[in-house]
Amino acid sequence: MREYILRRVLLLPFIMFGVAFMTFLAYRIIPGDAAILHCQLECTPDTVAALRHEFGLDRPPLPLSVDTKPPFLEIHGDSQFGGWLGGVLRGDLGSSFSYRTPVTDELGRRVPITVELLFLTVVLALSIGLPIGVLSAIRPATPVDWLSRFLSVLFLSVPSFYLGILLITFGVVWFNWSPPQFGTGYVPFYDNPWINLQQFFFPALVLALGESAVLMRLTRSAMLEVMRNDYIRTAWSKGLRERAVVWRHALKNAIIPIITVIGLQIGGLLGGAVIVESLYNLNGMGKYILEAIIRRDIFVVQSVTLLFAVSYVVANLFVDLTYAWLDPRIRYA
Amino acid sequence: MAREVALPLEIEEERPEPRKRWKRLLSTARKHPLGVFGLGCVSLLFFCGIFADLIVPFDPEATLRERQTYGSLVKAIEPNDTRLTIADAQLEVGTNFDIDGERMSVVPPAPKVSGTGTIINVQRASSQSAHEAGAALELDTAIANIKPSWSHPFGTDHNAKDVLSRVIFGARISLLIGLTAIITGVTAGAFFGVISGYFGKIVDTIIQRCVDILLAFPAVVLLLAIITVVGDEDSSVRRFLANNTPLPKGEFLGIPTFLDVFIVALVIGLAVAVFTTRVVRGAVLSIKENVYVDAARAMGASDARIMWRHIFPNVAALVVILGSVLLPVAILAEAAISFLGVGVPLGTPSWGADLSDEKSRQNMLEGIWWPVFFPGLALSLVVLGFNMLGDAFRDLSDPRLRGSGLGGGGGGGAGRGPI
């Protein structure tokens, strides 16, 4: 396990480099000049050249270029890729093409929103999925079980964006209530916790329902598996109450795969954040990258994509570490 | 806590007669009503997708218009008179109508109500003939946002398009994108997975590091990024597909922008391929240790032959299962990126695109719920159907759970895709 994790950690920089290279290259092979896309109406050759110079688009894209004339291989010290990567390593993610604002400033405002959204989602998903899953496993083939299985397959199937639209509509049509961010914009938790939670509850719920369905199914199958074990029979025969058997003996052992799956779902949640944030008008990372992609703001896209990938890979690594820590049998395996 | 698991004793049963087999199938179906429901949903998807153009009541792209006739022209119109009194028609400024074949439009100032009817000012078309009192007034309007009714079971949307027809065509687009993505993705994934697992060493390293890089992106972000690059108006991939393949550039199968839809499918296929490569490679690693592979090699079989004849048949079942599990995921992925406005072009009757329509969503807040509700319902039902069908199959194939009604628990994250 140690070796495995060490390999994962050592591999991390290479994967990150690959991710950076791919996103960089992808947005350089788009036909059409990025500068022309962004100068809009006043596109004279001079302004385009000035824009290209300002954003360094007139420099060679890659540090190495191959040519048919000698010298066949050329090394560029001032390449765009090198400049960007160097900046990223120093903590400078470049700045937006359209708004001229540094990406790091923008992210400073937006990352807390996405983190809060994902945190609430995981909390909600756990508090919905875990109890229902446990209940369904300890009362198999009863109405409780049928209901929970039906709910899980339903939540699993209804796409988050559809659920979100329905929730918004019902709020407006039936209660004449819409989430406060549609009017006021994001309110930080420390300024006004009540408004802040109102803003985040529904987007988090929309994401969490799908997530809780996964947890429900997983908890149920893991618990069914665990409840068959000898030590559970021993616990029963000791005369322990059901609560003690289920929560202390069974769930403790069933929780390990559940934690893994939460980690594996982080990628899905990051993707879901893109959808839910744009639906609920939350100015988080997801909405930022979506808008940048639609605007073709290549500097924002390449940096934020890299950030998404880094958070995803690091989250997965973290889960692996947690896994080994939670289950001592795995540690030296 | 007692838990009874009734294990059926079917072991001694012989190979059933054909009639018996039907009976067993029926009893299986009765035991898995949710599975049958799922099968129904999936069958409906395939039926609607394949026969879309035969069963749609209206053209999903056409703006539906309606001709209403009012025999209510009270005052005759003189050649230079542009005032007209009508009895009851609700004619707003900008409305066009015909009298005796002559096109007229209502111009400001707004209609005034008089004792006998409504006086409106009209702009007359070229002809300057007079019209008789009592001539028929023909109103030609687009019927937008009408409620679900017998003639339009799902109503019409704000573009006056029939929602039912769009939902049926949405099934075709979903199916087309899903199947194309799965077939290309799974084929490519199996190909690279087998090669990567079989050759090992440097080939394996290169392929797996590429997979690592692609798996490092959250799926939605990866799809968004690739589609904006590949789907661009004059991207090289798009130009290549348009010029060097027999793919139609314009309308095909009733889908207006077939090429764009196809490109979306290919990009989703790429994501499918990445995942498949990883899974197949894992399977191949253990399969290639089998003795029959050594035997084949000892007999002088080439690498290609061993891979094709000895390794691939052993992963074929896995590949088929992966394909069927990923099909709803691919359909959902298409809907999600179309919803974000990056997938299929605007106006294509895709479920995701219809859900994302800004105007429809605005209207929904005012009570016009049908243009958004039905496409989303169709999408949810399709995914629900696939999930229920998958659960039923898992119940049937897991002998520990057979007959106990306890299935549907395994897998956990397996059925959940990028969304």
- How many other CB atoms are found less than 10 A from the CB of residue B94? 9
- Shared domain check, B318 and B274: yes
Q: Is the pLDDT of residue A153 over 70?
A: yes
Partners of residue A27 in chain B, C-beta under 8 Å? 229
Which of helix, strand or coil describes residue B305?
helix
- Cα of A224 to nearest chain B Cα, Å: 9
B108 part of a folded domain: yes
Q: Is B2 exposed, middle or buried (0-12, 13-18, 19+ CB in 10 A)?
A: exposed
- Nearest Cα neighbor of B350 from B235, B242, B219, B260 is B260
- Shared domain check, B394 and B317: yes
Q: Is the pLDDT of residue B17 over 80?
A: no
- Shared domain check, B232 and B108: no
B267 part of a folded domain: yes
Q: What is the distance between the terminal CA atoms of chain A, rounded to a whole angstrom?
A: 6
List residues bridging with B131 in a β-sheet: B77
Tell me the pLDDT band of B15, cut-offs 50, 70 and 90.
low
User: Which B residues, 211 through 250, put their C-beta within 8 Å of a C-beta on chain A?
Assistant: 212-213, 216-221, 224-226, 228-229, 232, 234-236
User: Is B410 within 8 Å of chain A by CB?
Assistant: yes
B286 part of a folded domain: yes
User: How many domains would you assign to chain B?
Assistant: 2
pLDDT tens, position by position, B34-90: 888 888 988 988 888 888 778 877 777 777 777 767 666 666 666 666 777 766 556
Q: Which of A24-28, A249-253, B339-343 has the lowest mean pLDDT?
A: A24-28
Under an 8 A CB cutoff, do B236 and A218 touch? no
Query: B42, B212, B213, B373: best mutation site toward chain A, by most A Cβ within 10 Å?
Result: B213
Q: Is the pLDDT of residue B29 over 80?
A: no
What is the reported pLDDT for B417?
Answer: 40
C-beta contacts of A1-10 below 8 A and 24+ residues apart: A1/A324, A1/A330, A1/A331, A1/A332, A1/A333, A2/A331, A2/A332, A4/A320, A5/A317, A5/A320, A5/A321, A5/A324, A8/A317, A8/A320, A9/A317
Q: Which of A44-48, B29-33, B75-79 has the lowest mean pLDDT?
A: B75-79
User: Is B400 within 8 Å of chain A by CB?
Assistant: no
Under an 8 A CB cutoff, do A30 and B417 touch? no
Containing B4, the helix (H) or strand (E) segment is none
Look up residue B86 and give its two tokens: 């009508």
The domain that holds B357 is classified in CATH as 1.10.3720.10
Q: How far apart are CA B209 and CA B194, in angstroms?
A: 15
Tell me the pLDDT band of A30, cut-offs 50, 70 and 90.
low
Tell me the pLDDT band of A32, cut-offs 50, 70 and 90.
low
- Shared domain check, B241 and B387: yes
- pTM equals 0.81
User: Is B376 within 8 Å of chain A by CB?
Assistant: yes
- Shared domain check, B176 and B312: yes
Q: Is the pLDDT of residue B25 over 50?
A: yes
Residues B392 and B32 sit within 8 Å (Cβ to Cβ): yes
- Shared domain check, B350 and B293: yes
What is the reported pLDDT for B415?
Answer: 36
* pLDDT-above-70 percentage for chain A: 84
Under an 8 A CB cutoff, do A217 and B340 touch? no
B32 part of a folded domain: no
Q: How far apart are CA A31 and CA A28, in angstroms?
A: 8
How large is the average pLDDT for residues B226-254? 72
Q: How far is CA B142 from CA B97, B156, B295, in A?
A: 12, 10, 73
User: Is B303 within 8 Å of chain A by CB?
Assistant: no
Q: Which domains does chain A have, with CATH numbers?
A: 32-92 (no CATH), 103-326 (1.10.3720.10)
- Shared domain check, B168 and B137: no
Under an 8 A CB cutoff, do B379 and A162 touch? yes
Tell me the pLDDT band of B407, cut-offs 50, 70 and 90.
very low
Q: Which of A116-125, B215-224, B247-256 has the lowest mean pLDDT?
A: B247-256
Q: How far is CA B359 from CA A165, B233, B368, in A?
A: 13, 25, 11
In A41-191, which ranges are E strands?
Answer: 64-66, 73-75
- Shared domain check, B310 and B220: yes
- Cα of A214 to nearest chain B Cα, Å: 6
Which of helix, strand or coil describes residue B218?
coil
* pLDDT-above-90 percentage for chain B: 6
What is the reported pLDDT for A253?
Answer: 80
Give the structural domain span for B87: 65-142
The closest CB to that of A31, out of B235, B361, B381, belongs to: B235
Q: How far is CA B165 from CA A312, B67, B112, B262, B351, in A?
A: 41, 21, 40, 21, 12
Q: How far apart are CA A192 and CA B316, in angstroms?
A: 57
- Shared domain check, B130 and B274: no
Under an 8 A CB cutoff, do B365 and A169 touch? yes
Residues B166 and B354 sit within 8 Å (Cβ to Cβ): yes
The closest CB to that of B339, out of A221, A236, A275, belongs to: A275
List residues bridging with B252 in a β-sheet: B255
Q: How far apart are CA B195 and CA B308, in angstroms?
A: 10
- Shared domain check, B391 and B268: yes
Q: How far apart are CA A32 and CA A45, in angstroms?
A: 14
